[in-house]
Structure 1
């Protein structure tokens, strides 16, 4: 079984700076040239971001304010109206996590997104978690962490969702995080984009240890996530973890990914397998050392 891919080449997308390596083609498949790292301040490059437009997303709360988008492109169309762009996202009005409930939208042009015909967002809300956790196999609360969660629920706080990731594999799969003082990753699936399955618990861990899951299906299932258990939004150091699965539900133990981003702390990421180039591409949100998650830049990387 292959080890975790190295994510070691980066361009700073927001500031449009990156670096080049003379004689090295970034499109060369991994293993055919020496790896190199890219410091975000080393040189300026021209990137095609001169036509950015805001997507119109009618969130269920009416704010239109969202966070953590993930899109899958299906050129042959999918769903009741054959839409090509499918989006998993959560509202986040004014940074209020109470509204951060996973939602799905679809579009033919990626600019105006709407709920597919017949679907009412959000797909899940914290009030549904009691039944989802009770039905999980194995039971998620065999230890003290579960007892603390139950006590938290009785006090009136039932946790919140975050970090959706949408995946295509002969149907749509939506992964998302649920957190109180522990982290839980769930998965739901749909064969038509409208009717969604009962939630499956796929991973659990300490608080802030399963941030921003990014799932790729390429032969087997792979997942990248960020472990920020040491400080959460104000962590001074985080780890990118990698896992494998044969079915997207039962996952291997985590291994650490070698990711070179000097002077920065990784917060969130997304990963895609680019089959024609035989490369993994990633977008990484990271803050400069000494800052926090409210001051991230976005980097592009490949391996």
Structure 2
């Protein structure tokens, strides 16, 4: 049995296509606000499993519950490509330049894939996209990039490599790359200690606590022999100078039959206040009967979570 209680109802997250079916959240929190808003979210619509709508979109909120597009923005920020699809957004903030960075994946669904970057000083006017990574030979080798600025000012990216197989691959690997500026990335390494026994890790999210330098990760993972429709959500942490510590128990399972999230628990984004013992976690979920996608919000005590792992 998972530790967290599923959101009873999904959040209302507006999408440009009008379906309000959204997933793959990436949330930033600014205590003093950024351009007048405390919460910024990148996400993608995914109505009834239609990847043709997974185009990067940006929303803002004062409370993390009521969302709207920033002034001057018409979502999506970039249209769907002529071939293939967009997906897997990641929103970051560069403090020296005081700019938002929105990374996302584009795959041609034939042979190759890219990580692209949009940049903005005000959240309304976006420059790009710019290619920051490319795999010319594999379609799904750089999935769900999770990006953090490290203590020394460098940048680190984690992502899932599922090769050319994608959602049903049985040999997924978590890879990592370093960068001085978040634009030019070094060669990848494999995170052999970031693995979920008996499962395949899917779309990962990582956050570094600037006060403790601890890395925290939440990720959906599906049992070996199945595919990503059967994901539950897991947690891992990495203390300074140590490897990743994973846990055998899922923190969130699909909801009961008939619930809005009764089939799949997808990528999550989270805000963790260790000192205040608070965890906010937005997650994507899929309903089995109609393949609809929505987003839920769970708020809990971090110490309670740890004590049950």
- The TM-score with structure 1 as length reference comes to 0.72
Q: Shift of the alpha carbon at 1:260?
A: 3.4
241 and 107 in structure 1: CA distance in 2 versus 1, 3 angstrom threshold = same
Q: 2-side partners of 1:122 and 1:279: how far apart?
A: 34
- Structure 2 distance, partners of 1:260, 1:241, is 11
Match of 1:223 among 121, 137, 157: 157
Deviation track 1:155-191 (CA, whole Å, cap 9, x = no partner) reads xx51100000000112110000000121100001110
Based on CA coordinates, which of the two structures has the bigger radius of gyration?
1
Counterparts of 1:230 and 1:195 in 2: how far apart (Å)?
35
Cα drift, residue 52 of structure 1: 6.0
Q: Tell me what 2:302 maps to.
A: none
Aligned to 1:287: 222
Residue in 1 that maps onto 2:20: 64
Q: Secondary structure of 2:127's partner?
A: coil
Q: Which residue of 262, 266, 288 corresponds with 2:201? A: 266
Could you tell me which of 46, 52, 60 is aligned with 1:106? 60
RMSD: 1.5
CA contact (8 A) 1:55 1:110 kept: no
Gaps of 5+ in 2: 239-309
**Helix, strand or coil for the counterpart of 1:243?**
strand
- Where do 4+ consecutive residues of structure 1 move more than 4 Å? 49-53
8 Å contact kept, 2:29–2:40: yes
Q: Is the 8 A contact 1:85 1:107 kept in 2?
A: yes
Cα–Cα, structure 1 residues 51 and 264, in superposed 2: closer, same or farther, change >3 Å? closer
Equivalenced residue count is 228
Mapped pair 1:74 → 2:6? no
**Change in 2 beyond 3 A, CA 1:87/1:52:** farther
Structure (1 or 2) with the greater helix fraction: 1
Contact 1:230-1:237 at 8 Å conserved across structures:
no
Deviations 1:1-26 (A, max 9, x none): xxxxxxxxxxxxxx424xxxxxxxxx
Show the counterpart of 2:84. Answer: 159
Match status 1:125 vs 2:59: no
Instruction: Tell me the equivalent position of 1:213.
Output: 145
Cα shift at 1:278: 2.4
Q: Matched residues in 2 for 1:109 and 1:294: separation?
A: 31
1:254 and 2:188 are equivalent in the alignment: yes
Higher-strand-fraction structure: 2
2:257 counterpart of 1:301: no
- Secondary structure at 1:61 match in 2: coil
